Amino acid sequence: MLTAVRYVLADPVVASRALGRERFIRGCMYVTIALNAYANGRRRRVWIWLLRALAEWPPQVFDARFGGALGRAALGPTMVSRMRHAAARA
């Protein structure tokens, strides 16, 4: 995934449109990788990718996807599942 982002940002047309947003794009990709790690049951790796996302783009902390990934990593799959079931009943 990261190679694809590097490749796309190297394209002159895309680079001109993404000018100044490269760090934001990479930060979003790190959150996506963290969510993928969570989905694959690799919870320890989620923390690494979330920290990279914050290091790359600190305002990422205000993004809803970052908050969701952080919540999943902190609470774990059991608690997330319970919350889903409780929300479905309400």
pTM beyond 0.85: the answer is no
pLDDT for residue 82 is more than 80: no
Report pLDDT digits (tens) over 37-53: 999 999 899 999 999 99
Domain boundaries, the chain: 22-89
Compute the average pLDDT of residues 6-35.
Answer: 92
More confident of the two residues 80 and 24? 24
Q: pLDDT at position 60, please?
A: 94
DSSP code per residue over 28-65: HHHHHHHHHHHHTT-HHHHHHHHHHHHHH-GGGGGSHH
Q: Which residues contact 14 (CB under 8 A, 6 or more apart)?
A: 8
